[in-house]
Amino acid sequence: MNILFLKFLFGVMFLTLVFLHLTKKNFLATVAYSIQSLVITIVLFNSFLETNNFYLLLVVFLSLVIKVIIAPIFFTNLIKKHALAFSVSTYFSTPLILIIISILTFIAYSDKFLPLTSIIPNNQALLSIALSVIFMSLFLIINRKGALSQIIGILSLENSILAFIIFAGLEQSPGLQIGVIFNMFIWIIIASVFISMIYKHFGTLNVTSMKNLKD
Amino acid sequence: MELLFIIASFIGTALIIVLIKNRLVIELLSIGASFVAFISSVFIALKVSVFGIYTPLVFLSVDSLGSIIMLIIGLICLATTIYSVEYLRQETSKNIIGFTRVKQYFILLNLFLMSMFLAASANNPIFAWIFIEATTLSTAFLISFYNKPSSLEAAWKYLIINSIGLLLGFLGTLLYFTTTTNLGGNDFVSWQFLQDNAHNFDPMVAKIAFIFVLIGYGTKVGLVPMHTWKPDAYSKAPAPIGALLSGALLPVAFAVILKLKVITDIAVGPLFSHNLLIFFGVLSIAVAALIMFNAKNYKRLLAYSSIENAGVMAFGFGLGGLGVFAATLHMIYHSFVKVVLFLSSGNLLLRYNSDKIKNVKGALSVVPVTSVLFISGFLIVTGTPPFGIFLTKMQILSVGINTHPVASIIALFFMAIVFIGFLKHVTSMFFEEKQVDIEISDKHIWLIIPPLIFLVLVFGLSFYIPPFLYTLISDVAVKY
């Protein structure tokens, strides 16, 4: 696949993360996650084209079904079921979020992380973007007060780590990749059940309303 | 073959429980599966002590450290399953839970135990990661078992913090595969293969990778500052699950750190990983000691004790040499004594219906046997002579005082604080005047026997270590 196209895909991934930080609507966040997962699936498909390993095609298929289709459907159903159109607020204000995102991106491109981003020197630009997306995903989880946003943050973190390892040439055998995807699938189901339970018990997805463990 | 028995018995039991509605059959099957796992883990440990390694399949391999951990899981799983049967019956009789919950409990318990055995025996870091993540998934609903807002909050915290930690651990683990990419390595890569190619590892990448691993798996171990989920999860989960989380899961996660530490040490020398382990170890001891002093909940007290002991282990492993021997032995003692403490805390909870220290008064006259178990556990876990933990702590400190005197003195100081803090709570719970309205009772034998056996076991191991176990621990000291 053309390197420019891959850069474009990673640019899309980066923008979805910025969007996830800014959006106030849960449905739009779900769509952004779906797009991000689609990018990863395309990159995985690229690996299949390069290796012609048909087990990788199975990985691509599972990634498409679980991350691009099923997970967003789960989240959309949750949003509809509990009328969660708007996401819970963030700890930081929007201008501050943008400043922190810029700093995180700068750090990812800095010399400090050169050993990581130059694992494959030809992919340095892509690895730097992937690293900045990892940092931004971590920040998303920390900054969001909503349980659903935190879940999407963790899934984004998983996507960004996958993007990093693909371009660092650290892809595992398809068997192990299927194991990881299966794990994430179970994780999504469990996290969705927990969201329903949280809403049932607390009447909100705002995790700051959970204050039963202060002793 | 033994490992396959373990996996088959747990999977088979979990599947059968889904289909049946007879409580007695569910209980007997679960005990049976745990018994198979216990016997098999003993056979595996004996084999490893003779042959050095046990590899039934290419993706499953058990070395000396793995066999010790499997032995720990095997013993604890049998005790906690037997205890769980009576514990859940008591809770059912009090209308706290119904049959569906009991069924759920045993399905998840079997899956949790299987995941731990597979993580301990995985011959590939990613395979190990998958099963450690599976332990998170299988225990999340066990922590929210009572379906109360507080237990749900604890389970959510556990799920989120551990998932973030494990994803960072995943990234760190994958960075170790940079040593194999030039070798055309898209195939199954074993621990040994990674170790053999560790000299190809870029030192800077190795350092970053180990930091991610220590943060990632350190979250599961409960090292400070990644420990925040631990007191909540331990205090809200049923008592036998607390025993498993503290006694069995902690060593499983620690083993992965140690295996990756060996690879890091080859690439960058041992100083880097040792300093990090010593730093996080002493920090964990200090923070746990300070919080324990003002604990208000006895199950949280036990959780902080686990954090302190994880710190002692990290400190010991960080010192290397004889410190590793002592830390491995400490791991065994700690796991066994935590079974005594968590199961006796379960008995206290059943009698007093409260996990608050202020609500438990005069326990020595209300539940005398349980009290003796808990007090003995307290004396052992805080390192009172002549028990084993006293010897391992002293051994670690005597190694440390030569190489890291400041860290050793800080550790010793906070270990003393732990004893004083724990003693304060034990005095308040067991020796003060009992409430007049509480019934004096310690009558359920199956709530007493499992912790009692572990008390005898830890007492016996304090004075005599079987030759096969000594061989295994010595081998760990050489390899790690």
For chain A, domain boundaries: 3-207
What's the pLDDT at B185? Answer: 47
Closest Cα in chain A to B124: A176
Q: A 136-155 residues with CB below 8 A of B? A: 138, 141, 147, 150, 154
- The tens digit of pLDDT for each residue in B342-351 reads 999 999 999 8
CA distances from A86 to A146, A197, B65 (A): 10, 19, 50
Q: A 80-109 residues with CB below 8 A of B? A: none
Nearest to B152 among A51, A183, A201 (CB): A201
- The tens digit of pLDDT for each residue in B172-223 reads 999 999 887 654 445 678 999 999 999 888 999 999 999 999 999 999 999 9
Element (H, E) at B56: strand B54-57
Report the alpha-carbon distance of residue B353 to residue B101 in Å, rounded: 19
Q: Are strands B60-62 and B54-57 parallel, antiparallel or unpaired?
A: antiparallel
CB contact under 8 A, B126 and A190: no
CB contact under 8 A, A187 and B133: yes
CB < 8 Å to A212, chain B: 148-150, 153
Report the alpha-carbon distance of residue A187 to residue B391 in Å, rounded: 42
- Chain B contact for A11 (CB, 8 A cutoff): no
Q: Domain boundaries in chain B?
A: 2-479
CB < 8 Å to B137, chain A: 183, 186-187, 190
CA distances from B222 to A104, B231, B287, B317, B350 (A): 27, 10, 12, 16, 27
- The tens digit of pLDDT for each residue in B401-438 reads 999 999 999 999 999 999 999 999 999 999 888 776 77
Closest Cα in chain B to A163: B171
CB contact under 8 A, B137 and A186: yes
CB < 8 Å to B299, chain A: none
Instruction: Of B306, B301, B292, give the one whose Cα is nearest residue B349.
Output: B301
Closest Cα in chain B to A165: B174
Place of tokens 């205890």: B83
- The tens digit of pLDDT for each residue in B309-337 reads 999 999 999 999 899 999 999 999 999 99
ipTM value? 0.94
pTM score? 0.94
Assess contact for B313 and B345: CB atoms under 8 A.
Answer: no
CB contact under 8 A, B141 and A190: yes
Instruction: Of A161, A113, A154, give the one whose Cα is nearest residue A134.
Output: A161
Assess contact for A13 and A159: CB atoms under 8 A.
Answer: yes
- Say whether pLDDT at A215 is over 70: no
Nearest chain B Cα distance for residue A161, angstroms = 6
- Chain A contact for B149 (CB, 8 A cutoff): yes
Token code pair at residue A105: 């991106």
Phi, psi of B197 (to 5 degrees): -105, 10
CB contact under 8 A, A158 and B167: yes
- Say whether pLDDT at B2 is over 80: yes
- Say whether pLDDT at B110 is over 80: yes
Closest Cα in chain B to A203: B149
